Structure 1
Amino acid sequence: MKKISLLLAVAMVWMALASACTPVTPGASSSQAASGAASDIPTVAREKTLIFENIEGRVSEPGNQNPYSNSQYLDWGLWQANQESLFYYNYETKEIMPWQASGYSYNEDFTELTINLRDGVKWQDGEAFTADDVIFTINMLKENPELRYSSDMNEWVASVEKVDDLTVKFVLTGPKPSFLNDYFVNEVWDTVPIAPEHIWSQVEDVVNFKNYDLEKGLPMGTGPYKLVRSTETEQVYDRCETWWGAEIGFEDMPEPERCIWVTCTSEEVRAAKMVNNELDSSWTMSVSTFETAKAKNPNIFAWTDELPYGYLDACPSSIAFNNAKAPFDDPEIKWAIAYAVNQQEVVDIAAEGGSEVALTMYPTYQSLKEWLDSNQDLLDKYNVATYDLDKVNEIMTGKGYTKDSEGFWTDPQGNRLNINLIYRSGESLNVKEAPIIEQQLRAAGFYATSQALESAVFYTKTYTGDFDMCFGGALGSVSDPYATMDFFHSKYYKPIGETSDARFYRWVNKDFDAYVDIMAATAPDDPKFQEAARGALELWLEGLPCLPLMQQMFIVPFNSTYWTNWPTSENNYTSPTSWWYNCNLLIHNVHAAAA
């Protein structure tokens, strides 16, 4: 049956590619070809335009460019082209790369961090990037709890002090060896961006500030690209005439004259656009879709040339429980749901076998795999990948549930246990996983439904606790287990109805918190850290605030028709995740194919 389904899926992709691809003259130099719009912005030739897919899909608030707003993830251009990070991290090479900064140092007990800023960094209006900008940003975040990163800065920063124009000292509230990596190194996905003081200090309401006025140069970054158009389906950034990095000889000016992030409506549409050379980099594809597209256009390739083609993402696919909502606040109910989910079947169908079951929320990068291997006895004791319907029946009947006439679990009062699983419509893997899990839960007696939502709606629901279960990860650890554990600390707990951030699990376990607090204050190579990490892992597995599903092997296709030197496993100068802050490095490294 699975083979038939797979063949049908491949056939549908072929038909989509055949019908959606209309000829475009290579190198066409019209604004229509380059930007998908008419004449209100200058024409840029296609061969000078770098086009990415916006993985979020339709942008519901294209006029909100506030990087500190909890309602926006600005991974559709602002992070990658306009803003820059103090440091970047390559977890292929384990290298911390200074960018806006030139270096850093901790004191002996990790209670103070000094960051040295790079001389010559400028904002796009020519103003110098200095310690005053850093200090202003941190204090602004501390003073406005509604802003993203505010709770973190209040928790860890006692004060931030100016040593001189290019030197900033953070005095921390306690030892925090990972402070730099957690907030200023773009270690995973995002980073704390620095705001231009000379602009933001004039804003009366920074929480509701849109940071969007193209005539005034907003949004203002230190990056080499300025925003020139923002719509629900397209974000266009044009290269600045000058950029500080080229002026001081730090880096060459990037080659693309224009960078565009466009919306695609489905995996078939993105594949068709890749085949037709209308995209240079897309969101993920399944194995069969990728192979079909590559057969149509040999310039399409991915991280590896052979199966599974993909790049191991830092965030395993998982289902988050609303741990503040009954009955998902009951570990036994969550384990019953876990026993009802056949993770291997999800891998076989949704990922077409191109991945592996995940037993925790950690990617199996080498250092993390070594730690997980050292705790294999716990993973065996609490095996989240155990599929056992007898266990489901045992737990549910033991909790007083019975099945109604349609075979669904009802509580002693006769109320069905309804489960609605929500997910982002732009997440290709979740789109495939959701119906599988829905049917598995139904087969186990849970009345389950699944619902695709646009990103803005999804984030509003998860952050306010308006959900039962959702697809959601913990983008934290890439080298040691602390950052991911911290995602589940109860300090981030918000009552249902109050807005949280990406740490929306609402799980409370004070013993777990105590272990995580030890990890936060201790270097990873300290035996006390390892002991606390093991203790936290066992409590996490017992309480199961989140159900791991599979490691995510993202097939991120690139197209070499117009641009070359994309990151691959053989050329791993950065990860292929074009929706992260590190895409800045990718843009700086691609070269025009015509050259």
Structure 2
Amino acid sequence: MNLKSALLGAVAFSTFAPALYADGHEGERGRDGNVSIIYWQAPSIMNPFLSGGTKDVEAASMVIEPLARYNPEGELIPWLVDEIPTVANGGVSEDLTQITWKITEGIKWSDGTPFTSADVKFTAEYCMHPEGGCAQVTKFEGVKSVETPDDLTVVVTFEGQTPFPYGPFVGGESPILQAAQFADCLGAAAPNCTEQNFNPIGTGGFTVTEFKPNDVIQLAANENYRHEGKPAFATINFKGGGDATAAGRAVMETGEFDYAWNLQLAPDVIAKMEEGGKGVPVAGFGPLVERIMLNNTNPSPDLGPDERSVIRPHPFLSDPAVYKAMSLAIDRPLLVEVGYGKAGKVGCNWVPAPPAFASDTFDCSVQDIEGAKKMLDDAGVVDTDGDGVREKDGVPLKVLYQTSTNAVRQDFQALIKDWLEQIGFEVELRNVDSSVFFGGDPGSPDTFQKFYADLEMYANTFNGTDPQAYLANGLCDKAPSPATQWQGENISRFCMEEYDALHAELAQTADAAKRAEIGRKLNDMMVENGGMIPLVHRGRLSAHANTLGGVALNVWDSELWNVADWYRMK
């Protein structure tokens, strides 16, 4: 069996080095001075294993790197290794239970010490530690062992047949940590290693010189970077915080910054900014979905943290009539128009891309307020006391609906609140600063992982073009809790034995068409059974200065995946 043909057709392999996206210019490292980047969601940590926030994953990707990653075409490319292992080249065993990575010789950490297979093995031990609360643990699902026959060889053995073995150490969400630096940070000690988590030693083009959580990161060119003459920039000023409007203006109108990420703004606002003439927006569609997560637990503040994280029925959100009526009441085309324009599409699926995995089961494009009311009436969820709020078994449909602070999200909240109240809900709105909401602080009550609300709205995505690890976020044991340091991506605390069993089948299925079929079924199970309400399939929209060269927007990996290739156009 040739693994390449056994995998999803959308997953391609490339033997081209990252220099494929390089500027082609030659010169001394640091020749172009400073580049300024603004992320209005400020990073709170430089260790993606301790945060589920995209802004933390992306900031860290400038410093710490994976063995392989995805390019803008969705192709898997070697990064710290000589080639992508496959069955055809002998890197993946014929029985699909083992993958062998060959590290490129001569790579050094930014402190000048050799990068070896021991660092890779340590990273697996770090994330797989049962007390570590690793936010990216689904990448290591099914891993039996990681061995190091020599300094440049890593052998990952899986518990069973694993047709898609590119979870561990691939993409911006699964980079390599230096074993020497993080040696004392295993297990429960992980979140307490402040120096390591804020200032990781890496193999990337830049090193951290100063990290102020939820504020500013200063970086300098890595003098031990493996590519001669790169990076072109000597320093990076990475500003976090503010809002998307200010970030967009800072690039396209004032020219104060060179790159602005995730411009979640109305299309007319983007167009007006572009008239400033200093920069241009760039966009691309990947698997990014704005959604409402439905709390499958009881979020009552009267309960302690352990009880609030236990998977059990919500007083009324566990009723299919309730969450399906909520979905029916939402006017998604209007949300797209108001929030995203051409950078958005009606979203009915958890996994809208790549196309092979996009289900066609649901049609959520038409709002039906009266149909939603009838659905609740038929289920006996009615207003018995005349106060305008329906009750389910005596419990009023009163919900706390939270999200991060952002103009588009607050517009969405206001619209959805009105629609839900039209069908008999009472809705309280709450928004939290994005740096806190998407932060990894296990002590904060306001993170999206803790989900101390009934509904919460955000978007996330996954690296690469195969969603196996992403779909693992629906597994029962991936729910955040005190025992996991509140890490884990099963935010809804969704739990179905049938889902777990089907995902296990996906992990052992080689046929591309069958993998896609199972993936679509898992998507449908999550949506049909009250894990979430998808809203908008979002394009990634960012902006860069007219003078910034080398930018290649990547919807399948970190947007900063090739920051070492950026340069100043003369």
As a proportion of its length, which structure holds more helix? Answer: 1
Distance 1:412 1:107, change over 3 A: closer
After superposition, the C-alpha distances for 1:481-529 in whole angstroms (9 at most, x for unaligned) are 54443322223245699734223221122222222211111124254x3
Q: Give 1:348's aligned residue.
A: 337
Q: For residues 208 and 513 of structure 1, do their structure 2 counterparts lie closer, same or farther at Cα, with a shift above 3 Å needed?
A: closer
Change (3 A) 1:500 1:101: same
Query: What CA distance in whole angstroms lies between the structure 2 residues aligned with 1:260 and 1:267?
Result: 18
1:417-465 superposed Cα distances (whole Å, 9 cap, x missing partner) = 112221122x554233222212221222211122211235424543234
Q: Following TM superposition, by how much is the alpha carbon of 1:534 offset from its aligned partner in structure 2, in angstroms?
A: 4.9
1:311 equivalenced with 2:284 (yes/no): yes
Query: d(CA) in 2 for partners of 1:332 and 1:526?
Result: 33
- Name 1:589's counterpart in structure 2: 565
Of the candidates 397, 421, 441, which is equivalent to residue 442 of structure 1? 421
* Aligned ranges 1:109-148 → 2 under 5 Å: 109-148=95-134
1:54 maps to 2:49:
no
Relative distance call for 1:123 and 1:482 in structure 2 (3 A) is closer
Deviation at 1:77, TM superposition (A): 6.6
Write out aligned runs for 1:38-187 (5 A).
48-57=33-42, 61=44, 64-70=45-51, 75=56, 78-90=59-71, 92-103=72-83, 104=85, 105-148=91-134, 151-152=137-138, 155-180=141-166, 182-186=167-171
Residue 266 of structure 1 aligns with which residue?
Answer: 243
Q: CA shift at 1:237, angstroms?
A: 0.4
Give the secondary structure class of the aligned counterpart of 1:159: strand
Q: Which residue of 2 aligns with 1:422?
A: 402
Matched, 1:293 2:270: no
| Cα distance between partner residues in 2 of 1:94 and 1:553 | 15
Shift of residue 175, structure 1, vs aligned partner:
1.8
Query: For 2:176 and 2:164, how far apart are their aligned partners in 1?
Result: 19
* Contact 2:138/2:472 (8 A) holds in 1: no
1:477-496 aligned at under 5 Å gives the runs 479-480=465-466, 482-493=468-479
Name 2:22's counterpart in structure 1: none
Per-residue CA shift, 1:112-155, capped at 9, x if unaligned? 11111111111111110111111122123333433315744774
Amino acid in the other structure paired with 1:282: A
| Matching of residues 156-555 of structure 1 within 5 Å | 156-180=142-166, 182-186=167-171, 190-203=172-185, 206-212=189-195, 218-231=199-212, 232-246=214-228, 252-274=229-251, 275-283=253-261, 284=263, 285-296=265-276, 298-303=277-282, 310-324=283-297, 325-352=314-341, 354-364=343-353, 368-372=354-358, 376=360, 378-379=361-362, 383-403=363-383, 404-413=385-394, 415-425=395-405, 427=406, 429-455=408-434, 457-459=436-438, 460-473=446-459, 475-476=461-462, 479-480=465-466, 482-493=468-479, 499-525=486-512, 527=514, 529-555=515-541
Change (3 A) 1:392 1:521: same
The one-letter amino acid of 1:466's match is: Y
Alpha-carbon distance between aligned partners in 2 of 1:326 and 1:428, rounded to the nearest angstrom: 31
| Aligned-partner Cα distance in 1 for 2:567–2:523 | 45
Unaligned 5+ segments in structure 1 are 1-43, 247-251, 304-309, 568-573
8 Å Cα contact 2:294-2:455 kept in structure 1: yes
Alpha carbons of structure 1 residues 54 and 339: separation in structure 2 relative to 1, 3 Å = same
How far apart, CA to CA, are the structure 2 residues paired with 1:127 and 1:211? 22
- Give the drift of 1:551: 1.4
Cα 1:467/1:175, change in 2 over 3 Å: farther
Which residue type is aligned with residue 521 of structure 1?
Q
CA separation of 1:206/1:193 partners in 2, compared to 1, >3 Å: closer, same or farther?
A: farther
Could you tell me which residue of structure 2 aligns to residue 41 of structure 1?
none
Structure 2 counterpart SS, 1:183 = coil
Checking the alignment, whether the CA contact within 8 Å between 1:111 and 1:176 is kept in structure 2 is: yes
Q: Which moved more, 1:532-541 or 1:153-162?
A: 532-541
**How many Å separate the matches in 2 of 1:474 and 1:71?**
9
Q: Deviations over 1:71-117 (max 9, x none)?
A: 87663874232112211102x42322211122322111221111111
Distance 2:341 2:220 in 1: 39
What is the distance in 2 between the residues matched to 1:139 and 1:175?
Answer: 21
Does the 8 Å contact 2:480/2:489 carry over to 1? no
Structure 2: stretches of 5+ with no match in the other structure:
1-29, 86-90, 298-313, 439-445
C-alpha distance in structure 2 between counterparts of 1:154 and 1:478, whole Å: 15
| CA apart distance, 1:235 | 0.9
**Deviations along 1:34-54, whole A, 9 cap, x unmatched?**
xxxxxxxxxx99x62111112
User: 1:532 Cα deviation (Å)?
Assistant: 3.2
Could you tell me whether the CA contact under 8 Å between 2:143 and 2:157 is conserved in 1? yes
1:77 touches 1:235 (CA, 8 Å); kept in 2?
Answer: no
Aligned pair 1:564/2:540, yes or no? no
The TM-score, its normalising length taken from structure 1, stands at: 0.77
Q: CA RMSD in A?
A: 3.0
Residue type of the alignment partner of 2:376: M
Q: Residues 320 and 505 of structure 1 are in contact (CA less than 8 Å); yes or no, is this contact kept in structure 2? A: yes
User: Is the 1:88–1:582 Cα contact (8 Å) retained in structure 2?
Assistant: no
- 1:40 aligns with none
Instruction: Mark the CA change 1:203 to 1:371 in structure 2 (over 3 Å): closer, same or farther.
Output: closer
Letter matched to residue 73 of structure 2: T
Distance 1:497 1:130, change over 3 A: closer
Query: Which letter maps to 2:289?
Result: P
Distance 1:201 1:356 in 2: 45
SS in 1 for 2:146: strand
In structure 2, what is the Cα distance between the partners aligned to 1:448 and 1:131?
52
